[in-house]
Chain A
Amino acid sequence: MDLKPGAGGQRVNRFVDPFAQISYHFLQFLWRTLHLLVSLWYLQVSMVQMIEGFLISSGLVKRYGALDIDKVRYLAIVVDSEEAYQISKVIQLLKWVEDMGVKHLCLYDSKGVLKTNKKTIMESLNNAMPFEEAVEKDVLLDQKQMTVEFASSSDGKEAITRAANVLFMKYLKYAKTGVGKEEPCFTEDQMDEALKAIGYKGPEPDLLLIYGPVRCHLGFSPWRLRYTEMVHMGPLRYMNLGSLKKAIHRFTTVQQNYGT
């Protein structure tokens, strides 16, 4: 966390009224004190979560013993790109996910660090297959292996832009036939088809776990997040099995009404 004063933190002009100078410094002091208290609060919360995570991992909390993992049909994990360089941590996390029985996983970081280390990560997993290979061999429904998809920011908005061009070109082709002079009119189903046509066949995740300093999806494909539950897990360096189990358990108890 790096606090930066904003517009309210005015430059102090030595020729300004001394009262204004004093009140500026006093307000700055109060602002920094407020943030210090908030940081202490978060520190306390993290410690409680770590202890809870340890208790859950040790099996001392019975509630998280049996997980209905079938409810998590597709899990996504977003990792802050700077933290993604901790490949050993990422591999440990994936092993936990694999052991829990998750069948389909998407790993995302905006800069593509995980994509770059795809080979290392896949070799470390016992029984996993790249998502593209599973699609090619048509074994997505095969429950024997975990499929792993790697994604970065180029698979988000940029992919949607490429799909937009597919739709646009289709429209141009239709317009060239001269049948009607309708304006471009597309549907969400057509967008789905266009994305699949250019190789983006990954489904919408049920649950998205965010490992990083902020609860923010950092550019995960907007087309695949409509009803995805997003849980902030904290920094990757503090990850623990207990928190993972708790997040998945909580997801299995959520009921969605999809807007109705």
Chain B
Amino acid sequence: MELYNGERPSVFRLLGKYMRKGLYGILTQGPIPTHLAFILDGNRRFAKKHKLPEGGGHKAGFLALLNVLTYCYELGVKYATIYAFSIDNFRRKPHEVQYVMDLMLEKIEGMIMEESIINAYDICVRFVGNLKLLSEPVKTAADQSMRATANNSRFVLLIAVAYSSTDEIVHAVEESSKDKLNSNEVCNNGIEAEQEFKEANGTGNSVIPVQKTESYSGIKLVDLEKNTYINPYPDVLIRTSGETRLSNYLLWQTTNCILYSPYALWPEIGLRHVVWSVINFQRHYSYLEKHKEYLK
């Protein structure tokens, strides 16, 4: 699969493709992760390091992203999630935010124009996050690309934009509440729980005994799980630049996820990082499967 036109001569590209195929043949003797997630960290540092003009780091990062998605697709990974823009990123300098929004709009429109290629490779594109925070042109383009690729299923690309995990959790609570209201399940349980809440507030004791909320609970854990933006959960999360935190990304979904932090800046990410994450996934597959079973 070739998502871009590289500048190298085609014989090297062919050689690279067949070597990758050989490597995938070895790796696929073991379990392959269903879902890889990425935090694209280090674009600005890359631009500074290579003295690129403003936005140069993000452009290089986009090329790196296409390469990584190619490797995921070829390896048989079914889902890839990328952290394109966080709600916190809106606090950056306005011209920087505008640049990223313009770049995103340009790339989404490019994707819409190449719809036939995307559909030929059976790729589904989904934008997840608090999309109401996006400007109208970006939101419209995102909706259009999602509609155009909705029926594809070989590879699902989830683009987290205007996203944060805490916002996602609150959104899941809201959606679960709406579901409960619509299904009229509350009824008597709701009245009893309300009494409980009144008593707790009335005595000044703001701690509601855990057992009592459980017996009256309307929303269940499975409801929240169903209403998160991102499903299924990732198997490996790769954050470049050596940073070891999640920065409010996929906090809910990473209970059984391997966290991998290579020192490479995002535009420097390559096949070796994807391969290393797959190898580590295979090393710890049994352990994480056992942990998942325990938590069910």
Say if A and B assemble together: yes
Using a CB–CB cutoff of 8 Å, the interface residues on chain A facing chain B are: 1-9, 27-28, 30-31, 34-35, 38-39, 110-111, 153, 156-158, 160-162, 164-173, 176, 183-188, 190-191, 196-199, 213-219, 222-223, 225-232, 256, 258-260
> Contact at B29–A27, with CB atoms within 8 Å?
yes
Q: Which residue of B lies closest to A215 (CB)?
A: B259
For this complex, 28 residue pairs linking A to B, each with C-beta atoms less than 8 Å apart, are A4-B31, A6-B31, A8-B29, A8-B30, A9-B30, A30-B26, A30-B29, A110-B295, A162-B217, A165-B213, A165-B216, A166-B208, A184-B181, A188-B167, A190-B170, A196-B206, A197-B200, A197-B206, A199-B210, A213-B284, A216-B256, A216-B288, A225-B246, A226-B165, A227-B248, A231-B244, A259-B87, A260-B89
Which residue from B224, B251, B257 sits with its C-beta under 8 Å from A164? B224
A176 vs B181: C-alpha distance in the bound complex, in angstroms? Answer: 12
Beta-carbon contact of A8 and B28 below 8 Å: yes
- Least Cβ–Cβ distance between B71 and chain A, in angstroms: 16
Pick out which of these stretches binds chain A: B7-15, B60-68, B189-197: B189-197
Within 8 A of A (CB), among B170-195: 170, 172-174, 176-178, 180-181, 186, 190, 193-194
Instruction: Mark B residues whose CB is within 8 Å of A.
Output: 25-32, 86-89, 91-92, 164-167, 169-170, 172-174, 176-178, 180-181, 186, 190, 193-194, 197, 200, 206-208, 210, 213-214, 216-221, 224, 244-248, 251-252, 254-260, 279, 282-288, 291, 294-295
Choose from B167, B176, B284 the contact partner of A214 (Cβ within 8 Å): B284
Q: Given A7-B31, A168-B219, A169-B197: A186 and B173 within 8 A (CB)?
A: yes
Are A230 and B259 in contact (CB-based, < 8 A)?
Answer: yes
Contacts of A228 in B (CB 8 A): 245-246
10 extra interface residue pairs, beta carbon distance < 8 Å, beyond A188-B167, A231-B244: A5-B31, A161-B217, A172-B193, A184-B178, A198-B208, A199-B210, A213-B287, A215-B258, A227-B247, A229-B244
Q: A30-B26, A199-B210, A231-B244 are in contact. Are A35 and B283 (CB under 8 A)?
A: yes
Interface centre among A6, A30, A169, A187 (most CB of B within 10 A): A169
Chain B residue contacts of A167, Cβ below 8 A: 173, 177
Q: What residues of B have a CB within 8 angstroms of the CB of A35 in the complex? A: 30, 279, 282-283
A214→B256 CA distance, assembly (Å): 10
B168 to chain A, nearest CB (A): 10
The 7 closest A-B CB pairs, nearest first, are A259-B88, A8-B28, A6-B31, A31-B29, A222-B251, A184-B177, A2-B286
> In the complex, how many angstroms separate the beta carbon of B43 from the nearest chain A beta carbon?
13
Bound-state Cα–Cα, A142 to B204, Å: 25
- Do A223 and B30 contact each other (CB < 8 Å), given the known contacts A168-B219, A169-B190, A169-B193? no
With a cutoff of 8 Å between Cβ atoms, the chain B residues found around residue A38 in the complex are: 279, 283
Q: Is the CB of B207 within 8 A of A2?
A: no
Taking CB atoms, residues of chain B closer than 8 Å to A6 are: 28-32, 282
- The minimal Cβ–Cβ distance linking A104 to chain B, given in whole angstroms, is 19
Give the distance in Å from the alpha carbon of A148 to the alpha carbon of B89 in the complex. 34
Asked whether, in the complex, the Cβ of B186 is within 8 Å of the Cβ of A162, the reply is no
Q: Are A197 and B207 in contact (CB under 8 A)?
A: yes
In the complex with contacts A184-B177, A216-B256, A226-B251 CB distance below 8 A? yes
Cα distance A72–B173 in the bound complex, in angstroms:
32
| B174 / chain A contacts, CB cutoff of 8 Å | 183-186
The smallest C-beta distance from B77 to any residue of chain A, in angstroms, reads: 12
CA gap between A165 and B86 in the complex, in Å: 27
Q: Which residue of B lies closest to A171 (CB)?
A: B177
Question: Which of A28, A111, A176, A197 has the most B CB atoms < 10 Å from its CB?
Answer: A197
Across the interface, do B170 and A198 meet the contact criterion of CB distance under 8 Å? no
Shortest Cβ gap from B139 to chain A (Å): 20
Contacts A6-B28, A161-B221, A186-B170; is A259 near B282 (CB within 8 Å)?
no
